[in-house]
Structure 1
Amino acid sequence: MDDKAKILVVDDERLNLNVLSDLLRQDYKVILAKNANQALDRINAEYPPDIILLDVVMPEMDGYTLLHKIKEQEATKNIPVIFITALDSKQNEAKGLEMGAVDYIRKPFHPSIVKARVKNHLTIARQRKLLEGLANLDGLTEMPNRRSFEIAVEKEWRRCLRSGDLISLAMLDVDCFKQFNDNYGHTAGDDALKKVADVLSSEMKRPADLAARYGGEEFVILLPETDAEGAKFAVERICKAVEDLCVPHGFSSAGQYLTVSIGGVTVTPSISSKPLDMTVGADSMLYEAKRRGRNMVLWTDLS
């Protein structure tokens, strides 16, 4: 894939499209659209644009209407939009900014202003994406955090509710981790958690599968469209892979090496239930696995 940022230019005037394309194509990948419908097709492509330069006055669907459509879609609402216009009205400018446009560029174009404003807003967009990514990552393990999991489980729950598909969830706890920390030190404890996180991340095979740090020594595994048999098989592999790391733990009641206990549940989402019910069910199975001696997987099928 091209590393250049992608700019979508939307204007019904061929001259304006050519001018902006010639001005920007040396530094960016420029995509052109001569009307709003063409623009929507390009915006909803597999790789959407990083920024949109949008004419205000166009036939059939004007820039304001197209901006509204962009902002109402979850997948496109954060794409920065700069209006390009010959209109010189403070009311028009205020309207666009209130609707979510990030800036205005006046016609006729001044090359240095166009380049500077595009560059500035692409920088801001990259910084925002970086901050959003950091907010959804656990600082120690660099895997998704609890906030990221809660967003994902709500999304997958709604999707499976619509489709009638199953969804499986597992809670994982590192066995006797307090004793590990107390005897080997917190630096060794942090290293152990990173190793467990690496195992979890490597076992997530599909785009919708998610492993996240839930808090402390506890992790969560989300497996949409996975039945109980398949989910249990997947987490049993994780359980064995952690033990196979052979991280010494001479203070564990579960074995000579670092191990994990896992409890899980498979459900069919319904209107009368919610994701929290699934989390509580998995946590209950985890508690039972720990009560029975740890280093095991216990699963319940409620589908």
Structure 2
Amino acid sequence: MAEPDIDTCASSSSDDLIHVLAVDDCLVDRKVVEKLLKVAKFKVTIVESGKKAMEVLRLNEEKIETPTADDQKIDIILTDYCMPEMNGYDLLKVIKEHNCLKSMPVVIMSSEHVPERISRCLDAGAEDFIRKPLKPRDLKRLRNFVMPVTPTSVTGMKRKVPLEVLPENKSSERRPRLAGVVVA
């Protein structure tokens, strides 16, 4: 049986879309991920194995050049954990070992909820661990890993601000109030 080809799907204005490299050995799961991502206006490259993902990322041994995410303009990797030959954790480790790719967000997904597996992936640099099947609400999380919410100069609008952007001096900052909790 021949391996399926790499399938890249995108709309006509794909240059401004977030490009997701989705890796899953299950055809049904690949189709679900592909459909959800396309409907949510992501550019999608689907592969069926970690080894194929390495080819797309130009991490295979035959290449002498330095791999770069810009070659394919991949913005984020969404990979299944349980796959033959190379699982999602092994793919994550390979990606994080390359200086030019280690800042690329990698999200692991699995139908199995194994806390040790989740911790191991997060400790190795995964941005998140998502339970399968992928759901529409998960797509916002994927988008936020590529385009983090940053403060804007627009006044009167509430935005989430990453903690590292908050000012160090406490003289003029407003402290958040949580229902029934006082922040000291």
> Per the shorter chain, which TM-score range?
0.5 to 0.7
2: CA distance between counterparts of 1:110 and 1:72?
30
Give runs of ≥4 in structure 1 deviating > 3 Å: none
Q: Deviations over 1:98-138 (max 9, x none)?
A: 000000110123222x21211221212x96xxxxxxxxxxx
Task: Indicate the percent of aligned positions where both proteins have the same amino acid.
Answer: 34
Aligned length: 125
Q: Secondary structure at the match of 2:147?
A: helix
Query: Is 1:24–2:49 an aligned residue pair?
Result: no
One-letter amino acid matched to 1:98:
D
Which residue among 45, 50, 62 is the counterpart of 1:36?
50
**Partner of residue 2, structure 1:** 15
Unaligned runs of 5+ in 1: 128-303
**Partner of residue 121, structure 1:** 145
Report the alpha carbon displacement of residue 88 of structure 1 after superposing the two structures with TM.
0.7
* RMSD of Structure 2 on Structure 1 (CA): 1.7
Does the CA contact (< 8 Å) of 2:29 and 2:133 recur in 1?
no
* TM-score, normalising length: structure 2: 0.64
* TM-score, normalising length: structure 1: 0.39
Q: Which has the higher contact order (CA 8 A, sep 6+)?
A: 2
2: CA distance between counterparts of 1:98 and 1:122?
19
Query: Is 1:71–2:84 an aligned residue pair?
Result: no
Kindly indicate which of the two structures has a greater share of residues assigned to strand.
1
Query: Is 1:87–2:101 an aligned residue pair?
Result: no
Query: Is 1:107–2:120 an aligned residue pair?
Result: no
Kindly indicate which of the two structures has a greater share of residues assigned to helix.
1
Report the alpha carbon displacement of residue 28 of structure 1 after superposing the two structures with TM.
1.1
Does the CA contact (< 8 Å) of 1:21 and 1:30 recur in 2?
yes
Report the alpha carbon displacement of residue 97 of structure 1 after superposing the two structures with TM.
0.2
1: CA distance between counterparts of 2:133 and 2:49?
20
Q: How does 1:135-214 map to 2 (within 5 A)?
A: none
Q: Secondary structure at the match of 2:108?
A: strand
